[in-house]
Amino acid sequence: MEKMNQIIYELKRTLGDDAVIVGEKIGDRVVSYIDHNPMTAKAILLPRSTEEIVAALKICQTHAQPLVPQGGRTNLARSSFTEASDIALSLERMNAIEDVDVTNRTITVQAGATLQQVQEAANQHNLFFPLDMGSRGSCTIGGNIATNAGGPRVLRYGSMRNLVLGLEAVLPDGTVISSLNKMLKNNTGYDLKQLFIGSEGTLGIVSRAVLRLWEKPQSIITVLVDVASFAQVIQFLRQAQQHLGSVLSSFEVMKRNYFQTIIQAANIRSPLPVEPAYYVLLETMGLDRELDFEYVGKLLDESLEQGLITYPVVAQTKAQRDELWFIRDNSEVIGNQYDPVFSFDVSLPISSMEKWLAQLEQNLDEAFEDAHCFMFGHVGDCNLHLMICGDSLTPADKQAVDDMVYGLVVSFGGSVSAEHGIGLDKKHILPMSRNEPELWLMHQLKGLLDPKNILNPGKVLG
Ligand SMILES: Cc1cc2nc3c(=O)[nH]c(=O)nc-3n(C[C@H](O)[C@H](O)[C@H](O)COP(=O)(O)OP(=O)(O)OC[C@H]3O[C@@H](n4cnc5c(N)ncnc54)[C@H](O)[C@@H]3O)c2cc1C
């Protein structure tokens, strides 16, 4: 029997016909949430339990068959992309919420549960899972762990790495590392879960996880302000941190061209009567509404007095709050208006951002006739997103723009990926942000855990 037929035969015999999708049905699925092309692969596996993941991996390991773990396929670095010769393993059937533990403030879930399911389950118990992002209805906890997902609340709650207390993962040879710890403190040797968080499915398949929950915020205050320069954005951030402490949950910045393009396309009346250089969307999450309003009021008064801001707008209703976030979250509008759009997710020390951005804009102006640099991002956690486009830019300019952006990021002490990961798209520039000994150790770990290179091969390290 031909090798692939033999593998499919063994997988079907072990997992059952309904757990192994082959043939035309594969093309019914799309490559990713952003790339709507039909997926190609030899098969898609739909295991129902950790034991079935083990069985699938053992078969693939025996035949040195590449296997690509998949959650909601919403990643933005082509990290779950499959070649026609790959087998995909989707966690979609493993989406149970196993336990919400109110006393320990933890939730135990299977890795295929969507982020939204987890948020809702926590909410039902008057608790709160703080990770959030536009893809919440599709992305899965396994994918969030494998990408160390971020989002707008990292400033307050940390990225996924800070929200995982324990996990269970299956190694390429089928060994189950069950580390379902529920405690905040547990210093017993190497913290093995960290190996899998952010490893983009290259070291093991996450099957279950214990996540940390918080008290549900009783007060959410959302404010939009105008700021005249990037230097003042940073000054305002510092002031917000001093006045609001840990209730400050988001500090999002949008450049004027970004904000104006989104509101014009969506036909929204601007919430502010001015068109400043930068808009800051600030949010607090606390437990005492009166107290939080007092803190926010003091921050705004002081910033007004100092001339840092001139028109603070405080959302009065959930609809107003949603509208402000809609503007922040709708970057795809720019994608619809320009072709090509070169998108970037980078991080920089907050102290370097102003000079970096000014230098980048100057370099773009010198190199291209009409390059627009749309900037928005979670500035409070060092993460900037850029969309660079313009009528005269063509796909042939991608390399030059990439070199310009990443070259400057490195020279200012930043990182070529803030929250989207490396996947296929950035593996060639990983050495810009990681030194040789670091890369050597990554290769050693990959070789140790996956000596046959079957798990998501070609991603991250190549
Ligand atoms: C509209 C939109 C908004 C977004 N906003 C943000 C944002 O604010 N912040 C942010 O960080 N990201 C954001 N993203 C990117 C994306 O949603 C995240 O990267 C998310 O964590 C991916 O989860 P997923 O389940 O879709 O994983 P997939 O895309 O399916 O997979 C991502 C990677 O994880 C691996 N993987 C998946 N499941 C497992 C598993 N169980 N075990 C091991 N490996 C696994 C895959 O092989 C792949 O390498 C956004 C995407 C969209 C489309």
Give me the residue spans of the domains in the chain. 3-90, 97-215, 219-311, 332-420+431-436
The pLDDT score that the predictor gives to residue 47 is 98
Is it the case that residue 354 has pLDDT exceeding 70?
Answer: yes
Say how many Å lie between the CA of residue 81 and the centre of ligand 1: 12
Where residue 259 falls among pLDDT bands split at 50, 70, 90? very high
Q: 270-285: b or e for each residue (b if 16 or more CB lie within 10 Å)?
A: ebeeeebebbbbbbbb
Atom index in ligand 1 nearest the CA of residue 204 equals 43
Say how many Å lie between the CA of residue 328 and the centre of ligand 1: 20
> Average pLDDT of 376-404?
94
Q: Which fold has domain 3-90?
A: 3.30.43
Q: Examine domains 219-311 and 332-420+431-436 and report if their fold is the same.
A: yes
The pLDDT score that the predictor gives to residue 35 is 80
The tens digit of pLDDT for each residue in 360-379 reads 999 999 999 999 999 999 99
250, two tokens: 């988001």
Where residue 462 falls among pLDDT bands split at 50, 70, 90? confident
> Average pLDDT of 166-178?
98
Q: Nearest residue CA, atom 52 of ligand 1?
A: 135
Is it the case that residue 1 has pLDDT exceeding 70?
Answer: no
**219-311: which CATH architecture?**
2-Layer Sandwich (3.30)
Please report, rounded to a whole number, the percentage of residues in the chain having pLDDT higher than 70.
100
Is it the case that residue 221 has pLDDT exceeding 90?
Answer: yes
> Average pLDDT of 139-158?
97
The tens digit of pLDDT for each residue in 47-94 reads 999 999 999 999 999 999 999 999 999 999 999 999 999 999 999 999
**CATH number corresponding to 97-215:** 3.30.465.10
Residue 209 β-bridge partners = 109, 167
The tens digit of pLDDT for each residue in 306-319 reads 999 999 999 999 99
Q: Nearest residue CA, atom 3 of ligand 1?
A: 134
Q: What is the largest CA-CA distance in the chain?
A: 79
Return the minimum-mean-pLDDT range out of 128-132, 156-160, 367-371, 441-445. Answer: 367-371
The pLDDT score that the predictor gives to residue 439 is 98
Mutate to test the pocket of ligand 1, among 86, 147, 454 (most ligand atoms within 8 A of CB): 147
Q: Enumerate long-range contacts of 181-185, CB under 8 Å, 24 or more apart.
A: 181/210, 182/101, 182/104, 182/106, 182/108, 182/210, 183/104, 184/212
Say how many Å lie between the CA of residue 291 and the centre of ligand 1: 36
More confident residue, 300 or 23: 300
Is it the case that residue 125 has pLDDT exceeding 70?
Answer: yes
* Closest CA relative to residue 421, chosen from 92, 74, 185, 45: 74
Q: Nearest residue CA, atom 36 of ligand 1?
A: 143
The tens digit of pLDDT for each residue in 203-215 reads 999 999 999 999 9
Atom index in ligand 1 nearest the CA of residue 159 equals 11
- Cβ-contact 287, 249 below 8 angstroms: no
Say how many Å lie between the CA of residue 79 and the centre of ligand 1: 8
Q: What amino acid occupies position 215?
A: E
- Cβ-contact 361, 375 below 8 angstroms: no
> Average pLDDT of 164-179?
98
- The average confidence (pLDDT) of the chain is 96
DSSP characters over 13-26: HHH-GGGEE-GGGG
The pLDDT score that the predictor gives to residue 32 is 86
Q: What amino acid occupies position 94?
A: M
Task: Write the burial class of residue 362 (CB in 10 Å: 0-12 exposed, 13-18 middle, 19+ buried).
Answer: exposed
Say how many Å lie between the CA of residue 112 and the centre of ligand 1: 12
Mutate to test the pocket of ligand 1, among 75, 118, 176 (most ligand atoms within 8 A of CB): 75
Class of the 332-420+431-436 domain? Answer: alpha beta
Is it the case that residue 427 has pLDDT exceeding 70?
Answer: yes
Q: Which residues line ligand 1 (CB under 6 A)?
A: 33-34, 68-76, 79-80, 91, 111, 133-135, 139-140, 142-144, 146-147, 149-151, 200-201, 205-206, 419-420, 456, 459
Mutate to test the pocket of ligand 1, among 48, 60, 68, 80 (most ligand atoms within 8 A of CB): 80
